[in-house]
A and B are shown apart, each in its own frame.
Chain A
Amino acid sequence: MPAPATPDAPGPASTGPAYLDHAATTPMVPEAIEAMARQLVVAGNPSSLHAAGRAARRVVEESREAVAQALGARPSEVVFTSGGTEADNLAIKGVFWSRRAADPRRTRILVSAVEHHAVFDCVEWLAAHDGATPVWLDVDEVGRVRPDTVRAAIEADPASVALVSVMWANNEVGTVQPVAEIAKIAHEYGIPVHSDAVQAIGQLPVDFAASGLDALSLTGHKFGGPIGVGALLVTRDLAVTPVLHGGGQEREIRSGTLATPAIAGFAAALRLAVDRQPVLADQLSELRDELIARVRAAVPDAVLNGDPATALDARLPGNAHFSFPGCEGDALLMLLDARGVECSTGSACTAGVARPSHVVLAMGADDDLARATLRFSLGHTSSEADVDALLAVLPGAVERARKAGLVSASSKK
C-alpha cells in the first residue's frame, strides 16, 4: 500500500516509486525552488509604484529577459500566463478574434488532429459558440502533419484562414512536428502560426525567432519550474484579443497580478533547462532507447507508437509510447502503480475515465489499440534504476492485464 502523501520538498528521489511520468510533470530543480523561495518572503506587487513594487517589477522584468534570451525571443514578446492551458487559450481565441475582427471572412482554424486538449477544446468551443470552422489537419502513421497537408488546407481558401496551430512535439507519442516549415508556408499567405511547445522546452532546442512562429506556448512545470506559471511568446505585430480582462498587466492582452515568485522560479528553471538541454537530450535518448529495446524484448508484441526514428527532429528524447495488444491501458497502469511504477496511459481523462487516445486514433490505430496504450516519459531525475524497476514488473503486469482484457472482451458478447 502506498504511503499517504507527504509534504516533503521535491527533488531527485533516491527511493520510492520509479517515476516514469515526466511529461505530466517533472520535479522542480533546486535552483528554481531557491529563486521562488527568495521572492515568497518579499512583499510587493509589480504594478505598484513604490519601492516594494519596483523591486518586484525588477524581478519580473529580469525574468522576462532571461526567458526571452533562453528562447530566442525579445523581452517584449514574453507574456506571462498561469500555464500552458492559459497560453493556448490566449493564442487560439485571442488570435482568432483579432484576425476575424480585421476581416470577417477569416473563420477557419487549421489545427493538427493530435493537439493537446488545451488547443483542441478551444477550437471546438469556438466552433460551437463563435462561428469558427475547424479544419483538422491529418497526420501520418507516426503522428506527423505533412507540410503539404497544411498547404492544401490553406489553398482551399487562403482568405478564410484565421490561424494555424500545430504543436511542437506531441505530448502522447512524442512526435516532433515540422513547425518551421509549416510557419513558412502559412506566411506565404500572411497567416499567423501558433505552436504549443509545452513538451519541447528542455528536451529539444527551441528558438522562437528561428522557428518563424508567431506565437508559442510553454509552461514551467514541464522543465523543472513550478506548477501554475507559463508564458505565451507572441510577436509584436500579431494582435491578440484578451481572454482575461482586468488590469492589463501584460501588454494589455493578459490581466492579473503578476506572480513574482512563480515567475522567478519559472525563469530560473528555464535558463537551466535550456543550458542543459543538449546534455539532457543525449542522456534521455540513450536511456529511452534502452527502455524501448528492453520493453520489446520483454513483450515482443508491444507496438511502439510514434516515430521509430529517434533523432531529436523526429521524437522527444524522453518519450516511449506503446500499445500492448489485448490489454487495457488503465488496467496496466493500475498494476504497475501497485508495484511502484508510475506512468500514464497518455490519453486525456474525463473525471478519471480513460478514453481511447485521440492521438493514436488519428494515427490510424483501431479503438482497441488506442485503449491499450502506456506512455513512459523520462526527465532530469530519470536513471537506469527506473527502467530496471519497470522491466522487473512489466511482463507480469502485461500478462495479467491481458487475462483481464480477455475476460472483458468475452463477457461483452
Chain B
Amino acid sequence: MKVLAAMSGGVDSAVAAARAVEAGHDVTGVHLALSKSPQSHRSGARGCCTVEDARDARRAADVLAIPFYVWDLAERFDEDVIDDFVAEYAAGRTPNPCLRCNERIKFAAVLDKALALGFDAVCTGHYARLVNGPHGRELHRAVDPEKDQSYVLGVLTVEQLAHAMFPLGDTTKAQVRVEAATRGLQVADKPDSHDICFIADGDTAGFLRQRLDPDGDAHGDIVDVEGNRVGEHDGVFGFTVGQRKGLKIGTPAPDGRPRYVLDVSPVSRTVTVGSAADLDVRALTGLRPRWCAEPPVGRVECLVQLRAHGAPLPAVVRLLDDDTLDVELLSAARGVAPGQAVVVYDGTRVVGSATIDGTRR
C-alpha cells in the first residue's frame, strides 16, 4: 500500500512510520505545519509545531530512507481547531482540540488530500488498535492503558477508519522508546508532548483572555447554588466544570469543604460553584453523534468515557433522534464538562461518540 505517515517530530509517529516501512508499505513522511508563526525552538516539552520538530521529523524520515515533505495546514488548523476551541470556551464549554484535529485535520484535510494524491492510508502514532473483527474494521483501546488514545479517535467515522493505520496500538510507550533507540531514531528520548500544542507556554486561560477579552472587562460574579454572590472572576472562559483550583473565593463555604465549578454561563457571565457532591452527574445528553460501528438501537448497555484519560463508566445509551444521544450513567460521575466528548465503548471497542451538551444530576 502507499502510506502517508504523519510525522510530528515525536517518537511515536517516527516508530509508527518505521513499522509501516517494515511491513512493506511504500511510505512517504509528511510533517503537518499547523502553526502560522512557528517558533524555532520548543519551550519545555510542549507543542509539536516548532521548526525543531519539523527537523526532528525530517531526520527520522532520513533514517527510514523515505521521502519527506512538509504540508502547510496552518490556515485550516486555525479555522477548524483554534477558532472552534476559542468559540467553545466563549460559549462556556470545554472543548478537546486533539479530537477536533483528528476529526477535521488529520483524518479529513490530510486524509482527503492523501487519497486524492494516490495514497491508500494515513498512518499516525496514535495509541489505538484497528482490528478486523465481527463488526468489520473495529477501533479498540490500545494495550497500554496509560497511553490509550482511542478517546480522541472516537470521532472518526467508518470511512475515515478504513484509511487509517495505527501501528502502535499493541505496544507500550516504554517499548516504543526502546524500539526507537534500536532503530537509531534520534527522537527516542524526546519528552512526551502534552497539553495543547498551540498554547506553547501552557497558559490556556491567558491564551483565551488574549483572544476573548483583550480589553480586560469580562469580569463577573461567582455564585453558589442558592444564587448568593461569593466572589468575582475576570472572565468565564478561564473556568471548566469540575475545576477546584484558582477560584479565589474569599468567603469559605458554610461546611468548610472545597468548592468546585458547577456551571459556566457566558451570557450572564456567571460561574456557579458548589460542593463535590453537587458535581455528581447521573445522565447527560450528547449532540452530533458520529459512529464508527453500528449505532445503538434502543437502550444499549455499554461503557462510556467522558474525558481524555477518564475511566470507562457503565452506562445505558439511547438515540433520541439522529442528532441526540441520551446517556444514563449507572453510577454518578463527577465533573462532566459540556463540550467534551462522550465516547461509547463495547468493552474495548469504540462504537462512536457525541459532544456532551446538557448534564443532569
Contact = CB atoms under 8 A, between A and B. Distances in A.
Contact of B117 (A2, A335, A352, A354): A335
B54 A334 contact: no
B113 A331 contact: yes
Interface string B105-141: 0001100110111100000000000000000000000
B67 A2 contact: yes
Contact of A338 (B28, B31, B51, B112): B28
B202 interface: no
User: How many A residues are at the interface, by size bracket?
Assistant: 20 to 34
A408 B116 CA distance: 10
User: How many B residues are at the interface, by size bracket?
Assistant: 20 to 34
Contacts of B58: 352
A401 interface: yes
Contact of B69 (A352, A404, A412): A352
Contacts of A296: none
Contacts of B74: 353
Interface string B22-42: 000010100101000010000
Interface string A393-413: 000000011011011100110
Interface string A314-330: 00000000000000001
B65 interface: yes
Contacts of A334: 28, 67, 69, 117
Contacts of A2: 65, 67
Contacts, number: 65
Interface string B49-70: 0010011001000000111011
Given A351-B51, A351-B54, A412-B76, A330 B117 contact: no
B38 A1 contact: no
Given A338-B67, A408-B109, A400 B116 contact: yes
Contact of A407 (B26, B67, B112): B112
Given A352-B31, A411-B109, A411-B112, 9 more contacts: A334-B67, A335-B118, A338-B28, A338-B67, A351-B38, A351-B51, A351-B55, A404-B117, A412-B76
Interface of B: 26, 28, 31, 33, 38, 51, 54-55, 58, 65-67, 69-72, 74, 76, 108-109, 112-113, 115-118
Q: Sorted from nearest, which 5 A-B pairs have the closest CB atoms?
A: A352-B70, A404-B116, A403-B116, A353-B72, A407-B112
Interface of A: 1-4, 330-331, 333-335, 337-338, 350-355, 400-401, 403-404, 406-408, 411-412
